[in-house]
Amino acid sequence: MGAMNAPLEAPVRLHQSTASAEAPAVKANEASARLARSNLKQQARELLAQHDAVLVAHYYVDGELQDLALETGGCVADSLEMARFGRDHAARTLVVAGVRFMGETAKILSPEKRVLMPDLEATCSLDIGCPADAFARFCDQHPDRTVVVYANTSAAVKARADWMVTSSCALPIVAHLKERGEKVLWAPDRHLGSYVLQQTGADMLLWDATCVVHDEFKGIELELLRREHPRAKVLVHPESPAGVIEQADLVGSTTQLLRAVAQMDADEFIVATDAGLFHRMRQIAPGKTLIEAPTAGTSATCKACAHCPWMAMNSVEKLVHCLSGGTAPIELDADVIRDARTCIERMLEFVAQHPGATVAPASGFVPHLGAA
């Protein structure tokens, strides 16, 4: 039996020896990879400076891009604050790390500037779900209604709108329209539209589209998760289904969710929004426990999979590529820019005249924390 066991021992000794020999090689490879990433980010910094460019990144893109934006004097925010920051910044070139409609919004507010994106194919399900031609026909069928569109729409859709809103100012603006006796045609997110309708009681006709990320959150699975974490506060973005929203301790925009993590008297949170926001949450509230809200049942291979596939298309490599001339700038028709700008500026004027409509970032927050 001893002779029979001998061959079995040799591979074990060989494996241990190989593992021992490979450990330094693995460490060397990891160090090499870190150096390559550091060099790539340094290249991006140099290109931003060479092109008189500023990087504006959305909360949902990769954390490496978010950090690079702040390190180079840019900002990390929602689509509107990204555009406003770019408009007010002295840089002649804006690099928008996000999705297509964000680049378009930046161009609308800064038509004289060059607007680049790491990947022009990065789009949004809400944008896709509201084609400009179909939306125009829908508006034509309801000429008596005030057209209110969410920021997550194309420039062409915004050009047809009376108002643009973000998730932080949708409620006060629609409440304002209701007070004036106006009926609303809302597009595109039906979950956010339903939430605004329920909160304001306004007469609203809703377009039928959803965010592929927030639409996946499951109310019944959230209820089960809450039982496992009874002390956790539930934070929900209003693009989520009603069965999720009704379980929330706070419903709010990305900035409002960030503020809640930092300020609420709790150390554990279940968060129903894109997982990309967790990067900023951990920076702002490092001592808090963050739990992703569930998007599927127990037997699923991925129980919490809330990340936009188009936001994930942004990377430092693509940033370097676009700054090196690898992608064309955003171009929009002058008439579209003029018409779309009207609905955006109407919103900006309302928010300026009603400072309580959106709450400013709390003191002690990281600089450039925008309102979503």
pLDDT of residue 51: 96
Q: Is the same domain home to 65 and 144?
A: no
Where is 58: in which H helix or E strand?
strand 53-58
- Coil, strand, or helix at residue 351? helix
DSSP bridge partners of 176: none
pLDDT of residue 6: 46
pLDDT tens digits, one per residue of 79-112: 778 888 999 999 999 999 999 999 999 999 999 9
Class of residue 95 by CB neighbours under 10 A (exposed 0-12, middle 13-18, buried 19+): buried
Note whether residue 8 is domain-resident: no
* Alpha-helix runs per DSSP H in 116-275: 125-128, 132-140, 155-159, 170-179, 190-200, 219-228, 242-245, 254-263
Note whether residue 363 is domain-resident: no
Q: Which of 205-209, 260-264, 296-300 has the lowest mean pLDDT?
A: 296-300
Note whether residue 367 is domain-resident: no
Q: Is the same domain home to 235 and 160?
A: no
Q: Is the same domain home to 34 and 103?
A: yes
DSSP bridge partners of 94: 54, 115
Q: What number is the average pLDDT over the span 239-255?
A: 96
Q: Is the same domain home to 237 and 292?
A: yes
pLDDT tens digits, one per residue of 298-343: 556 677 789 999 999 999 999 999 999 988 999 999 999 999 999 9
Percentage of the chain lying above the pLDDT 90 cut: 77
Per the listing, tokens 């809640």 go with 260
Residue 100's domain is classified under what CATH number? Answer: 3.40.50.10800
Q: Is the same domain home to 274 and 317?
A: no
> 230-234, long-range: CB within 8 Å, 24+ apart, which pairs?
231/266, 231/267, 231/268, 232/266, 232/268, 232/269, 232/270, 232/289, 232/291, 233/260, 233/264, 233/266, 233/268, 233/269, 233/270, 234/269, 234/270, 234/272, 234/293
Q: Is the same domain home to 157 and 85?
A: no
Q: Is the same domain home to 342 and 195?
A: yes
Q: Is the same domain home to 135 and 191?
A: yes
Interatomic CA distance for residues 368 and 255, integer angstroms: 11
Note whether residue 15 is domain-resident: no
| CA nearest neighbour of 257 among 243, 244, 241, 238 | 238
Note whether residue 2 is domain-resident: no
Task: Check pLDDT > 80 for residue 360.
Answer: no
Instruction: Say how many domains are in the chain.
Output: 3
Task: Check pLDDT > 60 for residue 235.
Answer: yes
Note whether residue 286 is domain-resident: yes
CB 369 within 8 A of CB 258: yes
pTM of the model: 0.86
Interatomic CA distance for residues 1 and 5, integer angstroms: 6
Q: What number is the average pLDDT over the span 14-39?
A: 71
- Coil, strand, or helix at residue 308? coil
pLDDT band at residue 30 using 50, 70 and 90 as cut-offs: confident
Which CA distances in Å does 145 have to 118, 140, 339, 355?
38, 10, 18, 26
Q: Is the same domain home to 206 and 137?
A: yes
pLDDT tens digits, one per residue of 133-173: 999 999 999 999 999 999 999 999 999 999 999 998 999 99
pLDDT of residue 249: 97
pLDDT tens digits, one per residue of 38-69: 999 999 999 999 999 999 999 999 999 999 99
Task: Check pLDDT > 80 for residue 20.
Answer: no
Q: Which of 167-176, 192-201, 353-362 has the lowest mean pLDDT?
A: 353-362
Q: Is the same domain home to 318 and 240?
A: no
Note whether residue 18 is domain-resident: no
Residue 205, domain extent: 126-212+333-357
Q: Is the same domain home to 159 and 29?
A: no
**Cis amide prior to 188 (ω within 30 degrees):** yes
Note whether residue 12 is domain-resident: no
Mean pLDDT of the chain: 89
Q: Is the same domain home to 227 and 292?
A: yes
